[in-house]
Amino acid sequence: MSPTRGFFFSTDSGCEYYYDDYSGNCFISTPGFREALLNHPAPQDSPSLWRRFIDDRHRGYGAFYGPMRIATGDIEACKPSLRQLILCLTYRCNLRCRYCIYSKSYPFSDADYSGTLLRDTAFAAVRHYMTGVEALLRVNPRQKALISFYGGEPLLAFELLQQVVTLTGSYSAIPIEFSVSTNGLLLTPAIADYLVGHHFNIGVSLDGPREEHDRNRVFRNGRGSFEDAYSNLTALLSRHPTYRRIVLLITYDGNTNIPALRSFLRELPQARVKVLLCNAVARVPGSAAEVDVESELWPGLEQLYREVSRPEVWGEPLVRSLCLHQWFLTVIRPRFVSLGKPGMPYTSSCVPGDKVCVGPDGAFRICEKVPGLPAFGDVETGIDLNAIGQLISRYNRTIQLDCSACPVSRLCSQCFARLWTGKDFARPARTVCSDVVAITRGQFSRFYSVLERQPKLWSELLESADMSVPD
């Protein structure tokens, strides 16, 4: 048995809890519980009440102790789930956003990303993907297909998008969902009607009010794009006021004015903001990694945290996305997500092939966030399991020594995208790992502090949550 894996945390009231990473559960802690857990490294017979409490839960569902997890190298155990096909329709874009993954700001993106996906290449990718999903559907009735259109700006290749959607009509036995991420500049009424008519999840990038949006989302000449994006978004929402699949994509960084962003969203009619997705982006010198950041970067977050326990703010888009939903998923995710597949027992990284990203060159890559990562197949030959095995082995060799005793194995946010440097994977600095643990502990502490004051919040979030918890 390996030692306990988890952490203690306290709430504003002074109550202490223990998060157990083996089971994904939290337990109220007392001095007797703490002593029994920490002073006995493995289950054992004991008359102690707390010792029996711990051992009963270990025998019942594996809490508190577990086997040391070692990467098996068993590629068969890491067969891809094909949960998403991402088609990068074109690398062309009508904007030059300063944080774009295809900019020259990242070590792995110094190549010349240009070109548009050819129709035959896109069709071959879809056929490979749908054939694979069809096979999985025979053993998993819940299997479905998700085809996402990305760029560049995917609406610059709107005709190809339409052709792909038409092609999928020949796979009528497979449930298919579509999504598109767009800067909104080409969301004409005709395009909006088509996307809504085909039940697309439509992600529109808008970083908040004009002064926030125009800091980073600019045209080639440096002019801000807020006016164009905002007018098209509001036209879409006005034209389709009951459509529930519109996502506002907000990218924020250390310079974001959180109070201004909050005011902007509060002033929008609620019908205009169906869902809010916030992506924290911070640039790490010499690394392509995105990192989580704490509130010292944004003083406005502290005010948000102080107000979360008031039910009257729970409906605010920013409060729900940046606080409540984020904390809720952090706490509930371990109960629905396993500790990783045998070949990849650490971090939350996808197995290559869970997502298949295809660009103009026809190569299969792990996702849109790592354009320079080696391919694991292409539209000519399909998925190469040996190439997947080589990627996994390189990844495991880099991180495994530091991960075996991590108290947040189920919650770690590191992945292929965060650790790829352009040539190989880089072991995260110990400060990054300690920050991940500290941030996770802080999220538990804040959320449980709110739940102690407002127990009904848990039921409210549970009822509104999408329980298909992300990997």
pLDDT digits (tens, 9 = 90+) for 349-374: 888 899 999 999 999 999 887 767 88
Give pLDDT, residue 170: 93
Give pLDDT, residue 373: 83
Q: Which tokens hold the place of 303? A: 């005010």
Q: Which of 217, 147, 132 is nearest to 183 (CA)?
A: 217
List, in sequence order, every beta strand (DSSP E) within 169-237. 176-182, 201-205
Give pLDDT, residue 285: 34
**In angstroms, rounded to a whole number, what is the distance separating the alpha carbons of residues 382 and 189?**
37
Give pLDDT, residue 208: 92
* Residues belonging to the chain: 471
Please state the pTM of the whole predicted model: 0.88
Annotate 215-231 with b (16+ C-beta within 10 A) or e (fewer): bbbbeeeeebbbebbbe
Q: Which residue has the tokens 């092609």?
A: 167
Identify whether the C-beta of residue 181 lies closer than 8 Å to the C-beta of residue 154.
yes
Residues of the chain with pLDDT under 70: 1-2, 40-47, 67-78, 104-113, 269-299, 335-342, 371, 400-401, 465-471
Q: Which tokens hold the place of 347? A: 């971090």
Q: Which residue has the tokens 């070949």?
A: 343
Give pLDDT, residue 147: 98
Give pLDDT, residue 297: 45
Q: Which tokens hold the place of 171? A: 């796979």
Exposure of 333 in the CB half-sphere (CA atoms within 13 A)? 20
List, in sequence order, every beta strand (DSSP E) within 253-360. 275-280, 355-358
Q: Which of 327, 310, 270 is nearest to 456 (CA)?
A: 310
Burial class (CB in 10 A: 0-12, 13-18, 19+), 281: middle
Burial class (CB in 10 A: 0-12, 13-18, 19+), 422: middle
List phi, psi (to 5°) of 110.
Answer: -85, -5
